[in-house]
Amino acid sequence: MATNTVRLHRVLRTSPDKIYRAFTERSAFERWLPPFGFTGQVHAMDTVVGGAWRMSFTNFGTGHSHSFGGKYLELVPGQRVAYDASFDDANLPGTMKTTVTLTAVSCGTDMAVVQEGIPDMIPVEMCYLGWQESLIALAQLVEPNIPG
């Protein structure tokens, strides 16, 4: 694993389009992105290339929040999402880039996530753990096929 970079891979039992929607629809993003123990609120989401997005995570136990946001760099429905993000906290400088690649496979979707430029103050292993928790919540959102 490269310094300040997290790479994740999952195969989910759903379509690439459904996962793409989970990254680009406000209520879905709020539902699955926050790691365990946090709630999320999307404050802005203009899902066009160059459009801005902003959200915050709140620690459910302490009530402490941190906010962050950026711009959409690439949006290819059902295939790819790329965005950058910066924290509002000056102690977490820099800009991260997250790239999500979706590929249809026989049993669903192969999803690769790369997050680069994680601030030095955030241990990479904690970021990796948080992403693993988020991806569990993502699977719980997108895998059920509920009729009606």
Question: pLDDT tens digits, the chain, 148 residues: what are they?
Answer: 447 999 999 999 999 999 999 999 999 999 999 999 999 999 999 999 999 999 999 999 999 999 999 999 999 999 999 999 999 998 888 999 999 999 999 999 999 999 999 999 899 999 999 999 999 999 999 999 999 8
Predicted local confidence at residue 134, as pLDDT: 97
Predicted local confidence at residue 148, as pLDDT: 87
Task: Let me know if residue 124 belongs to a domain.
Answer: yes
Task: Let me know if residue 116 belongs to a domain.
Answer: yes
CB atoms closer than 10 angstroms to residue 94: 13
Q: Which amino acid does the sequence have at 84?
A: D
Task: Let me know if residue 85 belongs to a domain.
Answer: yes
Residue-number span of the structural domain to which 105 is assigned: 5-36+76-142
CATH (domain of 21): 3.30.530.20
The CA-based angle 123-129-134, given to 5 degrees, is 130
Predicted local confidence at residue 2, as pLDDT: 47
| Closest by CA position to 56, among listed 46, 67, 44 | 67
Predicted local confidence at residue 1, as pLDDT: 41
Task: Let me know if residue 57 belongs to a domain.
Answer: no
Task: Let me know if residue 128 belongs to a domain.
Answer: yes
Give the sign of the dihedral formed by CA 16, CA 30, CA 146, CA 130. Answer: positive
- State how many domains the chain has: 1
Task: Let me know if residue 60 belongs to a domain.
Answer: no
Task: Let me know if residue 62 belongs to a domain.
Answer: no
| Closest by CA position to 139, among listed 13, 4, 5 | 13
